[in-house]
Amino acid sequence: MAKAPVLTPQAEDFPRWYQDLINKAELADNGPVRGTMVIRPYGYGLWERMQQDMDARIKAVGVQNAYFPLFIPQSYLTREAEHVEGFAPELAVVTHGGGKKLEEPVVVRPTSETIINEYFSKWVQSYRDLPLLINQWANVVRWELRPRLFLRTSEFLWQEGHTAHATYEDARDFAARIHRHVYADFMENVLAMDVVLGRKTAKERFAGAINTLTLEGMMGDGKALQLGTSHELGQNFARAFNTQFLSKDGTQELVWQTSWGSTTRMIGALVMMHGDDNGLRVPPRLAPVQAVVLAIKGDEAVLAKVREIGDRLAAAGVRVQVDDRTDTPFGRRAVDWELKGVPVRIEVGPRDLEGGTAMVARRIPGGKEPVRLDLLPDLLPKVLEEDQALLLRQARERREARTSDVRTVQEAAEAAAAGGWARIRWADLGPEGEAALAEQAATVRCLVAEDGSVPDADDAPGNVAFVARAY
């Protein structure tokens, strides 16, 4: 008799599968206020690992962390016209504080360009103060009408970088550096995510930017998800906040700026890019727990052995957890670790001990086989690296298999509706084609140059548009 599936199968109902997984792997719960989210310890552990790794990469390019206030005077947002137009519909507004009605309502930050520029304009005096490279880890609020855990939540956690430069070129290069050497490098090498790097079309740009660079990933159902963005802000905010510096030539100049962000949405992406019908599959380099050693039964020899294996693997540099909760049935614990996507399970019972082996189950390729205990400390680090590479390869192969080259708007819309991506020359699409796609629920995710690089302009010759339905 086939056992009932723990999760709704992906093929049956992908959104339901996602919801089931988030819930049963104990990643998050819905908050009481619409669109808010409780990130549970296992989900938050993934975020902490992402933060640590990203934070080191961000600091390595010379950026310093700081913290700006949650509350922004409403008037700040209106200073940059496109920006307020983009964010006004999503704002949460505080009208009362300390038991009184406020004279000026304050908004809960949806992003911090405005308030940060207020301070940049004080801190930047001379070219010697540039580049000014700041990042903050914070919560932001954008009211969501159709919330979905991790993907669209009214409050989310993120990092937002904000920089000011003396020249256009310096700002442009910095935005590109974050895009490729911080975001793409992290997503590919740590999250094992297949990402397409490109530029947003004018229609899809960040409100207030002159250029938005994006990373787009294909989820398990063939839809696209935007995974991070890096914006060239030009001098738009500098003009609105009068952020000037004294140049080497003794003239007053407006700074050139960038901003860039990545969010807890990456956890949702991890689930939808790597998950399968049995649960999440966590890339080993990210995994808070890379291997779990399970005692099948609560017998003394077994308990002693799982602890010994745990110690040996920890000494070999593996992030390991011992599961000796033998008052919970083994089967239930095994399913739970599978759901949580721990890369390797090492299962030890009395019979294994006799043979000096343990059953090793690999979550990423799947399958289970007996391994001699003395070989584990050498084997595990290799297996983890192999499985890290396999995850990325599987994601890449899926995208390639589900992407088709098309020539017309209609073909592009059909490919997207069928659960895939379409590649189409921007010359064959253009802003009119893009508008037509919107009527069929498809969007241009990004533009990529003929050689796969990120183009300098929307209409650079040879540009190719990636078209998909998106989260």
Among 11, 38, 81, 417, binds a copy of itself (CB under 8 A): 38
Interface pick for a copy of itself out of 138, 176, 246, 390 (rule CB under 8 A): 138
Under rule CB under 8 A, residue 367 binds a copy of itself: no
Member of 9, 64, 311, 401 binding a copy of itself (CB under 8 A): 64
Among 97, 331, 370, 452, binds a copy of itself (CB under 8 A): 97
Identify residue 357 by its one-letter amino acid code. Answer: T
Taking the complex as a whole, how short is the minimal distance between the CB of residue 70 and a copy of itself, in angstroms?
5
**Buried b / exposed e across 321-346, counting CB within 10 Å, b at 16+?**
bbbbebeeebeebbbbbbbbbbbbbb
Residue 131: cis peptide before it, omega within 30 degrees of 0: yes
Instruction: Name which position in 66, 315, 427, 457 contacts a copy of itself (CB under 8 A).
Output: 66
CA separation for the pair 352, 349 (Å, rounded): 5
- Alpha-carbon gap, residue 49 to 126, rounded angstroms: 38
Closest distance to a copy of itself from the beta carbon of 329 (Å): 13
* Partners of 258 in beta bridges: 163, 232
Asked if 250 touches a copy of itself (CB under 8 A), the answer is: no
Least distance in angstroms from the C-beta of 299 to a copy of itself: 20
In the bound state with a copy of itself, the residue whose beta carbon lies nearer, of 69 and 317, is: 69
Q: Which of 2, 4, 89, 369 binds a copy of itself (CB under 8 A)?
A: 89
- Of 342, 227, 193, nearest in space to 279 by CA: 342
Q: Which of 98, 97, 118, 117 is nearest to 107 (CA)?
A: 97
> 3-state DSSP call for residue 21?
helix
- CA 433 to chain CA centroid, Å, is 29
* Minimum separation from the CB atom of position 361 to a copy of itself (A): 25
d(CA 413, CA 126): 51
User: Of 149, 233, 158, 126, which is closest to residue 471 (Cα–Cα)?
Assistant: 149
* Piece of 65-73, 171-179, 252-260, 316-324 that binds a copy of itself (CB under 8 A): 65-73
Cα separation, 238 vs 259, in Å, equals 13
Considering only residues 319 to 348 of the shown chain, the ones binding a copy of itself according to CB under 8 A are 327-328
139 lies in the site for a copy of itself, by CB under 8 A: yes
Measure the CA dihedral 6/401/218/195, to 10°: 130
With contacts defined by CB under 8 A, name the span among 138-146, 255-263, 268-276, 290-298 that binds a copy of itself. 138-146
Can you tell me the distance from the alpha carbon of 199 to that of 206, in angstroms, rounded to the nearest whole number?
11
Binding a copy of itself (rule: CB under 8 A), the pick from 17, 47, 237, 466 is 47
Residue whose structure tokens are 């548009």: 465
Of 8, 23, 71, 326, which one interacts with a copy of itself (CB under 8 A)? 71
Q: Which stretch binds a copy of itself (CB under 8 A): 149-157, 229-237, 423-431, 438-446?
A: 149-157
Q: Does position 53 bind a copy of itself by CB under 8 A?
A: no
CB of 188: closest distance to a copy of itself in angstroms? 26
Q: Buried (b) or exposed (e) across 105-140, using 16+ Cβ within 10 A?
A: bbbbbbbbbbbbbbbbbeebeebeebbbbbbbebeb
- Judged by CB, which is closer to a copy of itself: 276, or 323? 323
| Residue among 24 and 396 whose Cβ is closer to a copy of itself | 24
How many residues belong to the site for a copy of itself (CB under 8 A)? 57
Binding residues for a copy of itself, rule: CB under 8 A, are: 29, 31-33, 36-41, 44-45, 47-48, 64-73, 76, 88-99, 105-106, 108, 115, 118-119, 122, 128, 134, 138-139, 141, 143-145, 154-155, 157, 327-328
